Amino acid sequence: MGMTDRMTELAANLANVEQRIAAACAAAGRERGEVTLIVVTKTYPASDVRILSELGVRHVAENRDQDAAPKAAACADLPLKWHFVGQLQTNKVRSVVGYADVVQSVDRARLVTAMSKEAVRVGREVGCLIQVALDAGESLRGERGGVAPGGIEELAALVAGSPGLRLDGLMTVAPLTGEYAGREQASFERLMVLSTDLRRAHPAATMVSAGMSADLEQAVAAGATHVRVGTAVLGVRPRLG
Ligand SMILES: *Cc1c(COP(=O)(O)O)cnc(C)c1O
C-alpha cells in the first residue's frame, strides 16, 4: 500500500528519534537493543496508532483513560503493548486493567489493591512500574503523582505480593521543581540508583522508564531501559495532555 502524507511524516519523525536513540546508546557504550521506544500517542487519533503499528512501533502509551479506552478498542487487532502513564484514579481501574499491559504510574497502596482485585477478576496480569517523584521533598507524594523515594520499598513489596500484578520496575518524569529542576541527567541517575536498590529485593523488576522527547539522550546515558516519546514522533500536541 502507498504512503499517505501522515505516514510519510510519522516515518520521518520515527527515523529521527531512532537515530537519536542509536546515537545516545553509542555514546553511552550501550547496545541499541537495551532501550525500548514507547510512543506516547495521547491526544492523537487511533488512525495514527494504526500507522505507527504499520511502521513497526510495538509499544504505545496513553495518559487519560477517557481517550485511551476507545483507542485501544479500535486498535485491538494490532500487535501493540499499551502502557498507561497518567495519574490513575481508582474509579478508572476497571477500564484501564481491561487494555493496559503495563501501568507506569503506580504510586499508592489503594491503587495497587484496586488493580489487583480487577486483574484477578478478569484473569489478566498487569505489569506495574512504581512512579517515583524526585521532587516530593518531605511529603510522601509528588505534585504530578509519584511516590517519594522513601516510599518505593513498601509499595514494591505490596505490588509483588498482589495477585494479578507483576512488579516490572520504576518510572519517573524529570522534575520541574526541587533540587533536580533543570538537572535531567542527575534525576535519571538518581532513578538508576533507586532501581539498583529495588532489584536487590526484586531482581526481575528491571524496567527503568525515563526520558521524553526533550531529554531522551540524558535518560539513555543514565541507563534507562524505556524512553517515552510523544512530541518528537507525532508533533506538538494541540493542548496540554
Ligand atoms: C506526554 C508524556 C510523555 C511524552 O512527552 P513528550 O515531551 O511529548 O515526548 C512522556 N511521559 C509521560 C508521563 C507523559 O505524560
For ligand 1, whether the C-beta of 13 sits within 6 Å is: no
pLDDT band for 138, please (50, 70, 90 cuts). low
- pLDDT by residue (tens digit) across 195-223? 999 999 999 999 999 999 999 999 999 99
Residue predicted with more confidence, 237 or 96: 96
CB 64 within 8 A of CB 237: no
For ligand 1, whether the C-beta of 173 sits within 6 Å is: yes
CB 105 within 8 A of CB 88: yes
Phi, psi at 93, each rounded to 5°: -60, -40
C-alpha to C-alpha distance for 167 and 204, rounded to whole angstroms: 8
- pLDDT by residue (tens digit) across 42-101? 999 999 999 999 999 999 999 999 999 999 999 999 999 999 999 999 999 999 999 999
SS3 142: coil
Residue predicted with more confidence, 24 or 241: 24
Please state the rounded mean pLDDT for residues 15-40. Answer: 98
What pLDDT score does 3 carry? 78
C-alpha to C-alpha distance for 21 and 42, rounded to whole angstroms: 21
- pLDDT by residue (tens digit) across 144-166? 789 999 999 999 999 999 999 99
Cα pseudo-dihedral 66, 142, 195, 101, rounded to 10? -10
Q: Would you say how long the chain is, in residues?
A: 241
The β-bridge partners of 83 are: 61, 102
- Which segment of 89-98, 117-126, 139-148 scores lowest on mean pLDDT? 139-148
Chain-wide mean pLDDT for the chain?
96
Nearest CA to ligand 1 atom 13: 85
pLDDT band for 2, please (50, 70, 90 cuts). low
The β-bridge partners of 38 are: 228
* Residue % of the chain over a pLDDT of 90: 91
State which of 14, 16, 48, 63 you would mutate to test the pocket of ligand 1, scoring each by most atoms of that ligand within 8 A of its C-beta: 63
- For residue 240, pLDDT beyond 80: no
For ligand 1, whether the C-beta of 171 sits within 6 Å is: no
H helix count then E strand count, the chain:
9, 8
Output the nine-digit C-alpha cell for 12.
520521518
For ligand 1, whether the C-beta of 17 sits within 6 Å is: no
CB 125 within 8 A of CB 167: no
Q: Ligand 1 centroid vs 209 CA: distance in angstroms?
A: 11
Closest by Cα among 142, 134, 136 to 210: 134
